[in-house]
């Protein structure tokens, strides 16, 4: 098996695995890892109202510690294929860059991890000093219901212990090695519903306009900061994303008004404490004069934070040796599957540069693929030496 990350990345990019399609990507990984002695478990998860999604756990070795590389082989749709310089699933190389949907997010990262592992096994008589695993989902870019959460549950139920995890998401901002993600904010969606009394606009004293109450509560909830940040995170933030009355009649005071909002929150809160805080603040602002209620959308997006320690130091050192950069330990950006993995073992995110992810002409410099492979290879070596 070739330990060349460019070859592996090209094979993966040629699999059209737009969520929830497997597209041949997991089959390719299965074949590649089985050939060097991995035990591969493929499983499909279902849930009413969602697409069935294929997932994959592979392990070589039976002893601890178990170093896990995690990732997703699904990709977002390519958009207008004609706008691409090279067809999004043809994995064309031009100008020393590899083009394709998923090049950085994140088939390229997976290819580097696979190449590093193959190279490590080759240099160590085919056996790791402990165990190496791959935790790969096909449901990251979608609703993430039939992916990593269920995969982790399956792994735990089968007695598998994960010790440390590297999630190969594109963590870097501008250049390979500038950022390790050690945390992500949580995300919560809520609806604020204000009820009044419907009536004729010419007789407002007989009605109670809920829009007035909604505007007051929106202002109250957005104006007071949720916190002032924490050691690792920026302040939490609440933002209203829609206000809806749905009233088509010009002379009618509506009976109900709704607002929808999203909160990105840090480690000062949990999902539950945050809901309580918002409800208390609304109650205070309403002063008993506004009738309101909240509807919270189910959320599986809690905060993830891995404290600085042996894992972050190991990764940072390997990055510095290969790139000469001292990576920033960052907690910015959207959510990722690390929010699920963190419940099982310490996890950090380090992969390629995210600049072109989800864009037309997503691409990765070949030099980045080679450098990331060397970084992962060093991490594996040090991990089992330590
Ligand atoms: Zn991704």
pLDDT band (50, 70, 90) for residue 124? very high
Question: Ligand 1: distance of its center to the CA of 257 in Å?
Answer: 36
pLDDT at 144 (0 to 100): 74
DSSP 241: E
CB-CB contact of 178 with 328 (8 Å): yes
Query: What does the pLDDT average to over 13-22?
Result: 96
Active-site residue, from 74, 141, 337, 349: 74
For residue 19, whether the previous peptide bond is cis, meaning omega lies within 30 degrees of 0, is no
pLDDT at 383 (0 to 100): 96
pLDDT at 300 (0 to 100): 76
pLDDT in tens, 36-50: 999 999 999 998 988
Count Cβ atoms below 10 Å from residue 277 Cβ, excluding itself.
17
Active-site residue, from 140, 141, 337, 362: 140
Ion ligand 1 nearby residues (CB, 5 A): 105-106, 169
Q: Is the pLDDT of residue 105 over 60?
A: yes
Cα(10)–Cα(145) distance, integer angstroms: 28
Question: Ligand 1: distance of its center to the CA of 135 in Å?
Answer: 14
As a whole number, the mean pLDDT across the chain is: 95
Q: Is the pLDDT of residue 386 over 80?
A: no
pLDDT at 143 (0 to 100): 73
CB-CB contact of 283 with 319 (8 Å): no
Secondary structure class of 296 (helix, strand, coil): strand
pLDDT in tens, 217-269: 999 999 999 999 999 999 999 999 999 999 999 999 999 999 999 999 999 99
pLDDT band (50, 70, 90) for residue 311? very high
Instruction: Give the phi and the psi of residue 205 in degrees, each rounded to 5.
Output: -65, -20
Q: Which residues contact 273 (CB under 8 A, 6 or more apart)?
A: none
Question: Ligand 1: distance of its center to the CA of 24 in Å?
Answer: 18
Question: Ligand 1: distance of its center to the CA of 140 in Å?
Answer: 7
Count Cβ atoms below 10 Å from residue 82 Cβ, excluding itself.
7
Q: From its phi and psi, is residue 226 left (phi > 0), alpha (psi between -120 and 50) or beta? A: alpha
Give the pairing of strands 252-253 and 199-200: antiparallel
Encoded tokens for 227: 């916190």
Ranking 110-114, 143-147, 194-198 by mean pLDDT, the lowest is: 143-147
Q: Which residues contact 61 (CB under 8 A, 6 or more apart)?
A: 127, 128, 130, 131, 132
Question: Ligand 1: distance of its center to the CA of 141 in Å?
Answer: 7
Is 321 a residue of the active site?
no
Question: Ligand 1: distance of its center to the CA of 107 in Å?
Answer: 9
How far CA 224 is from CA of 31, 192, 215, 262, 285, in Å, comes to 55, 17, 15, 15, 11
pLDDT band (50, 70, 90) for residue 2? low
Query: What does the pLDDT average to over 129-153?
Result: 90
pLDDT in tens, 312-347: 999 999 999 999 999 999 999 888 899 999 999 999
Q: Is the pLDDT of residue 295 over 90?
A: yes
Question: Ligand 1: distance of its center to the CA of 211 in Å?
Answer: 40
Secondary structure class of 52 (helix, strand, coil): coil
Is 4 a residue of the active site?
no
pLDDT at 1 (0 to 100): 52
pTM given for the model: 0.87
Ranking 100-104, 145-149, 259-263, 280-284 by mean pLDDT, the lowest is: 145-149
Q: Which residues contact 109 (CB under 8 A, 6 or more apart)?
A: 71, 168, 169, 170, 351, 352, 372
pLDDT in tens, 174-220: 999 999 999 999 999 999 999 999 999 999 899 999 999 999 999 99
Question: Cβ-count burial of 140 within 10 angstroms (0-12 exposed, 13-18 middle, 19+ buried)?
Answer: buried
């Amino acid at each position: 098996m070739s330990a060349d990350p460019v070859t592996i990345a090209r094979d993966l990019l040629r699999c059209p695995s737009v969520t929830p399609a497997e597209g041949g990507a997991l089959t390719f990984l299965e074949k590649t890892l089985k050939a060097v002695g991995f035990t591969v478990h493929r499983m499909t998860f279902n849930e009413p109202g969602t697409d069935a999604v294929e997932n994959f756990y592979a392990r070589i070795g039976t002893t601890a510690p178990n170093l896990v590389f995690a990732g997703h082989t699904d990709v977002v749709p390519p958009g207008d294929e004609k706008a691409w310089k090279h067809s999004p699933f043809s994995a064309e190389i031009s100008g020393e860059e590899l083009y394709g949907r998923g090049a950085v997010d994140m088939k390229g990262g997976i290819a580097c991890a696979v190449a590093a592992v193959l190279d490590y096994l080759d240099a160590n008589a085919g056996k790791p000093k402990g165990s190496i695993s791959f935790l790969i989902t096909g449901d990251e870019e979608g609703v993430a219901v039939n992916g990593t959460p269920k995969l982790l549950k399956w792994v735990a139920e089968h007695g598998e212990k994960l010790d440390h995890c590297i999630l190969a998401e594109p963590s870097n901002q501008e250049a390979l090695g500038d950022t390790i993600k050690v945390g992500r904010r949580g995300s919560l969606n809520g609806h604020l519903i204000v009820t009044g009394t419907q009536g004729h606009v010419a007789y407002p004293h007989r009605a109670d306009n809920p829009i007035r109450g909604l505007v007051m509560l929106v202002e109250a909830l957005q104006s007071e900061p949720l916190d002032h940040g924490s050691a690792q995170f920026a302040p939490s933030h609440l933002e209203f994303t829609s206000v809806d009355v749905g009233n088509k009649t010009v002379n009618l005071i509506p009976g109900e008004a709704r607002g929808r909002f999203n909160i990105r929150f840090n480690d000062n809160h949990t999902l539950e404490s945050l809901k309580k805080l918002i409800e208390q603040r609304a109650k205070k602002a309403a002063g008993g004069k506004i009738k309101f209620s909240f509807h919270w959308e189910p959320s599986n997006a809690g905060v993830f934070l891995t404290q600085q320690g042996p894992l972050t130091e190991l990764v940072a050192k390997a990055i510095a040796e290969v790139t000469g950069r001292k990576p920033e330990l960052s907690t910015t950006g959207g959510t990722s599957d690390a929010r699920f993995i963190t419940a099982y073992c310490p996890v950090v995110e380090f992969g390629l540069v995210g600049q072109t992810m989800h864009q037309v002409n997503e691409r990765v410099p070949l030099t980045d693929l080679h450098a990331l492979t060397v970084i992962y290879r060093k991490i594996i070596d040090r991990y089992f030496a330590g």
